[in-house]
Every structure is written in C-alpha cells, then in structure tokens.
Amino acid sequence: QVQLVESGGGLVQAGGSLRLSCAASGSIYSISSMGWYRQAPGKQRELVASITSNGITNYGDSVKGRFTISRDIFKNTVSLQMNSLKPEDTAVYYCRAVGRSLSWGQGTQVTVSS
C-alpha cells in the first residue's frame, strides 16, 4: 500500500504561480508512475500531469506549456510547478500513484482569483 500526502495548495491571483508537492511512503518500490489530477465543483476529475519512473511525462491539454511535473525518486516525491495560473485552474488537486494498486492523496485546494 502506498500513502500520499500533498502540500502547497492555496490562494493565488491570476497569472501567479504555485508549486504542489506529494510525498509517497509505504510500498514505494511498486510505484510505476505518479501524477496529479484535479476536480472542480460539478466537474469530473481530470488528468493534469503524470510522470513515469523513467521520466516520461504526459499533460492535460489545458495545462500544456504552463505546468511542469517532476519526480525525485530518491526523495519519493512528485512536484507540480504551476505558472500563469488562470481562474479555471481552481480545483482540488489530487496526487495519484500507480503501483500494485491505485493510491490517491487527500487533495489540496488551489484557488485562482481573477
């Protein structure tokens, strides 16, 4: 079992930046990929960005060019640098790990004011 703890959410003005971090513990050797998803009120959870154990990244269309995902295998963390934030980026952001099973963090709120 993998446990995930997110940090770094908050309130920021449009055009600003935030950095989210997710720390993994437990059966970390089983993790093949980690990523960030988000869910806005009344909407489905969607992919923001993911990264595999060998560094292959994937981004949702709405964040390409603005967000960057990175992973520190030695520290068992994955980070999401979010630049040029827009009000439509407002959501709860969840960290996800794919290993023997799917693990989710508790979520962290990101609010972008116009």
Residues contacting 109, CB < 8 A, separation 6+: 9, 10, 92, 93
Q: Spell out the per-residue pLDDT of the chain, length 114, in tens.
A: 899 999 999 999 999 999 999 999 988 888 999 999 999 999 999 999 999 989 999 999 999 999 999 999 888 999 999 999 999 999 999 999 998 899 999 999 999 999
Q: Which helix (H) or strand (E) holds 91?
A: strand 91-98
